[in-house]
Amino acid sequence: MTTAPLSQPDGDADAREDAAEAGASRGPSESTLVVVRAARGGDRAALESLYLEFGATVHGLLLARVSAAEADDLVQEVFVKVLHALPSLRDERAFPAWLAQLTRRMAVDHLRRRRPTEELDETTAGTVDPDGLEADEVLAVIRGLPEAHVEPLMLRLVEGLTGPEIAERTGLTHGSVRVNLHRGMKLLRERLTGETS
Amino acid sequence: MNEHELQDLLADRRFRPDPDDLRARLERSAPRRFGRRLIVFAAAAGVLLALTATWWSVRGGETWTLTTLDGTTRLEGEVVSGRHSLRPGQELTTASSGSAELLLGELGRVRLLEETTLRVLSAGRRWGLALERGTIEAVTVAPPDVFFVETPSGLATDLGCAFELETDEEGHGRLVVSAGWVSFEVESRRCYVPAGASCRLDPALGPGTPVRDAASPELRAALERIDASSEHGAELDLALRESRTEDALTLWHLVSRVPVASRPQVIERLESLAPRPPTVSAEAVQAGDPDALNDWLRSFSGAPVR
């Protein structure tokens, strides 16, 4: 495991987020709403568009709770569920938060179904590549952090979303995401390096 | 280890879209018990579709709506921000690190990535853009043939889908389709690109033979050489050998692209991967008859060919 010091979130990224913050607070774009409307009517091409746009978010939220292999499978099941459940969504503008909540619920259901003896152990997920093991170790460490930090860190570090994008797609406030990312990075650095401040 | 290094380390765990798998799961999840209800629903949907088409044919006055996103966007050379309605003929350019979004009424969106220049051609019954250089990402729910993009190397026509189109000023580029279908044509050469496939664009050669993202490297390399040369011999043998059932669409394109003398061996291999329907005659296919070839394509791929 690499033990080089971790940096704070970089200033450039923060600057980009500041610039994007105003836009993110407006909720889903009109074009996204168009696609949500079509998917709600059963249009599968529209559902695929949503899958391409929101798949990374769903995957990141799943990774916060289940192994990488399970997340790859569950993300598909979430979008199958979306097609059938979307007609129940009353306000299209609530789609991102609704999708996040649906994803969390399906992850929890999956964990309940898992046999009691099955532990979430990334190092036994079938990966043999040493580099892969290292990545899974980091994922396991992130999952061990306080709950509030886990989703933002997965979405940022694995899926590459900005703070405003995380806020828009999870229903959290931007301030909350910013604080949780900052504190989460600090805690992650401490856990990975064995340092405490 | 900083944030970017962590992101690099975790890049392998990032979401990788697999629309084919999603489609298969959706198919499996479709209810099968209510056959009569489905027939009634399909009939009602058909009536609705007809009404929509009628409404579609008579309406007008719609415009493209521009929303600037990041960086600098110029409309007719003037820096703009916020939302604007666009008229046919107006030119839009994004600077480096710039991006903008265009709405086709309520039918979808087109995102302009950095250093992209395009011109609005039409709106309403048919929504058209001329992409001069750069990259666009389009997601639409428009009926087939309603949205199209002219490029220096040919015409891309949306058949209900999501795709990315990239070109330079000369017309070299690439079309990548992530949902649905896109056709690309120049003069007599046309190709159909489905989700999970792509084709190269070349101003001299026209659209390259479409190939699946998951095709073997050997097949991809052979196709590039076939597209670039009139000498096919060994490359064609290799392409036929490397083709799997999922590559039937690639072979279908080769039927009309290889010299007539090579056509029988392509047809033979295609028949082994995607049997020719009884209604499609071997003679017509061998003669390169477009209707026969299109019927064969529809039979195994569901392509919305015209």
Q: What is the pLDDT of residue B188?
A: 65
Q: For all residues of chain A together, what is the average pLDDT?
A: 77
Using the beta-carbon criterion (under 8 Å), do B1 and A4 form an inter-chain contact?
yes
Q: How far is CA A116 from CA A67, A110, A112, A113, A196, in A?
A: 15, 12, 8, 9, 34
pLDDT at B33 over 50: no
Q: What is the pLDDT of residue B254?
A: 94
- Which is more confident, B41 or B101? B101
Q: How far apart are CA A21 and CA A27, in angstroms?
A: 11
Determine the residue of chain A that is closest to B17 in CA distance.
Answer: A52
Q: What is the pLDDT of residue A22?
A: 43
pLDDT at B23 over 60: yes
- Chain A residues near residue B41 by CB distance under 8 angstroms: none
Taking alpha carbons only, the member of A53, A10, A8 closest to residue A165 is: A53
Using the beta-carbon criterion (under 8 Å), do A2 and B1 form an inter-chain contact?
yes
Name the pLDDT band for A159 (thresholds 50, 70, 90).
very high
Out of A63, A80, A132, name the one closest to residue B26 (CB): A80
Residue A107 burial (10 A CB sphere; 0-12, 13-18, 19+): buried
pLDDT digits (tens, 9 = 90+) for B150-163: 998 899 999 878 89
Out of A23, A52, A76, name the one closest to residue B179 (CB): A52
Q: What is the pLDDT of residue B57?
A: 42
- Chain A residues near residue B162 by CB distance under 8 angstroms: 45, 48-49, 52
- Mean pLDDT of the region A130-147: 80
pLDDT digits (tens, 9 = 90+) for B166-218: 999 888 999 999 888 999 988 767 899 998 899 999 887 788 999 998 899 99
What SS3 class is residue B118?
A: strand
- Chain A residues near residue B107 by CB distance under 8 angstroms: 34
Q: What is the pLDDT of residue A172?
A: 76
DSSP-derived secondary structure for B33-52: S-HHHHHHHHHHHHHHHHHH
- Mean pLDDT of the region B277-306: 90
pLDDT digits (tens, 9 = 90+) for B221-256: 999 888 887 666 788 999 999 999 999 999 999 998
The verdict on pTM exceeding 0.95 is no
Six token digits for residue A97: 């938060």
- Chain B residues near residue A190 by CB distance under 8 angstroms: none
Six token digits for residue B85: 């309605």
Q: How far apart are CA B174 and CA B193, in angstroms?
A: 11
What SS3 class is residue B214?
A: coil
Using the beta-carbon criterion (under 8 Å), do B69 and A131 form an inter-chain contact?
no
Q: What is the pLDDT of residue A195?
A: 57
- Chain A residues near residue B106 by CB distance under 8 angstroms: 34, 37
Q: How far apart are CA B14 and CA A63, in angstroms?
A: 10
- Mean pLDDT of the region B90-97: 93
| A-interface mutation test, from B4, B5, B6, B85, most A Cβ less than 10 A away | B6
Q: What is the pLDDT of residue A116?
A: 52
Using the beta-carbon criterion (under 8 Å), do B141 and A34 form an inter-chain contact?
yes
pLDDT digits (tens, 9 = 90+) for A38-57: 888 888 888 888 999 899 99
| B-interface mutation test, from A2, A26, A48, A169, most B Cβ less than 10 A away | A48
Name the pLDDT band for B108 (thresholds 50, 70, 90).
confident
β-pair type (B147-151, B108-112): unpaired
Q: How far apart are CA B159 and CA B302, in angstroms?
A: 12
pLDDT digits (tens, 9 = 90+) for A94-137: 888 889 988 988 888 888 776 554 555 554 333 334 344 588 88
pLDDT digits (tens, 9 = 90+) for A83-96: 888 887 878 888 88
Are B34 and B54 contacting, i.e. CB atoms less than 8 angstroms apart?
no
| B-interface mutation test, from A3, A35, A49, A83, most B Cβ less than 10 A away | A49
CB pairs under 8 A between A and B: 129
Taking alpha carbons only, the member of B26, B18, B165, B179 closest to residue A55 is: B18
Q: How many CB atoms lie within 10 A of CB A135?
A: 21
Q: How far is A105 from chain B, CA to nearest CA, in Å?
A: 19
| B-interface mutation test, from A21, A31, A138, A183, most B Cβ less than 10 A away | A31
Q: Would the ipTM clear 0.90, i.e. be above it?
A: no
pLDDT digits (tens, 9 = 90+) for B69-91: 988 999 999 999 989 999 999 99
Q: How far apart are CA B38 and CA B215, in angstroms?
A: 36
- Which is more confident, B27 or B155? B155
Six token digits for residue A147: 């709950």
Using the beta-carbon criterion (under 8 Å), do A9 and B178 form an inter-chain contact?
no
